[in-house]
């Protein structure tokens, strides 16, 4: 059993308030949770309204499945979020 963990650092330059940011974060984390059955939450930069830091974690049976899942999640975030991906980190524990 392994843990697949990802962190996305995104920039939403059009966001003007923390309320707008929260709407984007809630939408993205809910979509990730519903589609991939993972845990997802905002894990940093909560007071900065244009930067979003989203953490995603899942328990997987083996490394190959972890790699596949992380690739699918990465593509999903890229295609379904208007924010620009500044940084993405992946880790398998």
Residues 8-26 have pLDDT tens digits of 999 998 888 988 999 999 9
Q: What is the rounded average pLDDT for all residues in the chain?
A: 92
**Number of structural domains, the chain?**
1
In 3-state terms the chain splits into helix, strand, coil percentages (rounded to 5) of: 40, 40, 25
* pLDDT tens readout for residues 43-57: 988 788 899 999 999
pLDDT band at residue 5 using 50, 70 and 90 as cut-offs: very high
What CATH number should be reported for the domain holding residue 52? 3.30.70.1120
Q: Is there a contact between 69 and 4 (Cβ–Cβ < 8 Å)?
A: yes
Determine the pLDDT at residue 51.
93
Q: Is there a contact between 49 and 16 (Cβ–Cβ < 8 Å)?
A: yes
Quote the domain boundaries for residue 15: 2-92
């Amino acid at each position: 059993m392994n843990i697949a963990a990802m962190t996305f650092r995104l920039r939403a330059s059009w966001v003007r308030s923390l309320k707008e940011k929260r709407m984007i974060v809630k939408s993205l984390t809910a979509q990730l949770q519903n589609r991939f059955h993972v845990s997802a939450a905002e894990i940093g930069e909560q007071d900065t309204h244009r930067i979003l830091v989203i953490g995603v974690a899942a328990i997987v049976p083996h490394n190959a499945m972890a790699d596949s899942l992380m690739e699918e999640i990465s593509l999903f975030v890229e295609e379904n979020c208007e924010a620009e991906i500044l940084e993405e980190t992946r880790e398998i524990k």
